[in-house]
Amino acid sequence: MREVDVTRESQVAEWAEELENEDALPDLLINNAAVINRSAPLWEVPVDEFHELVDVNVSGVYHMTRHFVPRMIARGEGVIVNFSSTWGKTVAAKVAPYCATKWAIEGLTKALALEIPEPLAAIAVNPGVINTDMLQSCFGEGAKAFPTAATWVEKAVSFLLEVGREQNGMSLDIP
């Protein structure tokens, strides 16, 4: 396993090249890296925190797309799943930067879906509400009412392995 900082375009480029050289490019590219701001009104969110959200949540998806999608096109297959959020279609107070980045992912994915050739697909996926450190930062103890990541994976994996060209450009929710 290799750790890659998706905000560092050079690291993503290096990793994509390594995987290609190992004949190990993914058939299913899942862009899931995300951070959330500390709950605060937009005007109180520190500039560096705002920029970190954009760098991870949006630029990271761009870097992955830039370096993996051309290789998938050359190979003639692949599905790109960009994780969005319920807050990519709605909003909530005190997490405006996070909402903005997830709205960006929705738009980026729909535009990408128009650009990629068949049989590739680009799909925005709302993973649902999962009890993670990120959710706990927003919901506190209330996060415990939601499934853990381990429980979520049980249903999510089979769902993700079934998406394909038929869902190109769609925004889907993991059931």
The alpha carbon of 60 is separated from its chain's Cα centroid by a whole number of angstroms, namely 9
Active-site residues, by number, are 98
The alpha carbon of 20 is separated from its chain's Cα centroid by a whole number of angstroms, namely 22
> 126: which strand partners?
173
Q: Taking Cα atoms as reference points, which of 26, 18, 9, 32 lies closest to residue 72?
A: 26
Name the 3-class secondary structure at 73.
helix
Cis peptide before 119 (omega within 30 of 0): yes
Report the distance separating Cα 20 and Cα 31, nearest Å. 18
Report the distance separating Cα 115 and Cα 112, nearest Å. 5
Report the distance separating Cα 152 and Cα 170, nearest Å. 21
Total number of residues shown for the chain: 175
Structure-block tokens of residue 61: 């998806």
